[in-house]
Amino acid sequence: MNFKSIFKFTKTTEKLMKKVQEKPLPQHVAIIMDGNGRWAQKKGLPREIGHRYGSEALKEIVKMSVKLDLKYLTLFAFSTENWNRPQKEINALMDLLIEYLQEELEELDKNNIKINVLGDISKFPIHVQKEVNYAIEKTFDNDGLKLNIALNYGGRDDILRAVKNIVKDIELGVLSIGDINEKNFNKYLYTADMPDPDLLIRTSGEYRISNFLLYQMAYTELWFSRPNLLWPDFNQRDFLKAILDYQGRQRRFGGLK
């Protein structure tokens, strides 16, 4: 079943989508999917249940991204700081990642979506690494939506990793100090050859970027939801409203209009 054939729009969603499609769309949308645990706790449920419902919200946003023909969607799924969470919650997140890939991979592949990982997954359990690498390999040749999943990712770690690899290449004679510029530096980041995010969406009303794509978001437009909108409740209409808000802004990149 193709994503483009399974949309059941409300009139509001359809109207919003048409309005969004009248103006230039962002090439690259990044999302901090925040609030799963708090959503569950408010309902008296274990935090792990919140992550499961958050996974369902994610599916709807991926579908809408395909419908809008977005080029890049980057999701902050597991940060370098998330290792500080209880082991039970970490295990649940790993299980949910595997479950998502196993259940959705065929559909993602059919819809020409390419899966890419930002971050160092070598610290993940071997069986998790295998599932992630299989998804990357299976969708490698797809040229539709680039679905970037940030796993064990941190913005500072991304920059430090780039610096270390640049130093290594200078020592090997592959690169000279004079070659180091913004364009070449970008090639050493996890997002090499990708445009910087045009729009960052964060749910739950937190007003920070939490060590996510620090270098890449120099001129990204930021959209923060109202405090009571937690990720499991974020839907396609909310996604469209965020894009519509982005389309109403003037992006000057330090210059004039």
Confidence of residue 11 (pLDDT cuts 50, 70, 90): confident
Residue in this structure with the two tokens 């409740």, named with its chain if needed: 233
* Strand pairing category for 199-202 and 28-32: parallel
Q: Where are the domains of the chain?
A: 22-154+198-246
Beta-bridged to residue 78, according to DSSP, are: 151
Q: What is the pLDDT of residues 37-95, one digit of tens each?
A: 999 999 999 999 999 999 999 999 999 999 999 999 999 999 999 999 999 999 999 99
- Residue 35, token pair as written in the block: 């609030």
Q: Between the CA of residue 223 and those of 195, 201, 242, what are the distances in Å?
A: 18, 5, 7
pLDDT of res. 183: 94
Given a contact cutoff of 8 angstroms between Cβ atoms, the answer to whether 224 and 207 are in contact is yes
Assess whether pLDDT exceeds 60 at residue 27: yes
Query: Across residues 178-197, what is the average pLDDT?
Result: 96
- The b/e string for 181-215 (b: 16+ C-beta within 10 A; e otherwise) is eeeebbebbbbeebebbbbbbbbbeeeebebbbeb
Confidence of residue 7 (pLDDT cuts 50, 70, 90): very low
Given a contact cutoff of 8 angstroms between Cβ atoms, the answer to whether 13 and 30 are in contact is no
- Is 82 one of the annotated active-site residues of the chain? yes
- Of the candidates 2, 36, 69, 82, the residue annotated as catalytic is 82
Indicate the CATH number for domain 22-154+198-246: 3.40.1180.10
pTM for this prediction: 0.94
- Of the candidates 2, 34, 152, 235, the residue annotated as catalytic is 34
Q: Which amino acid is at 113?
A: I
- Is 36 one of the annotated active-site residues of the chain? no
Query: Across residues 179-203, what is the average pLDDT?
Result: 97
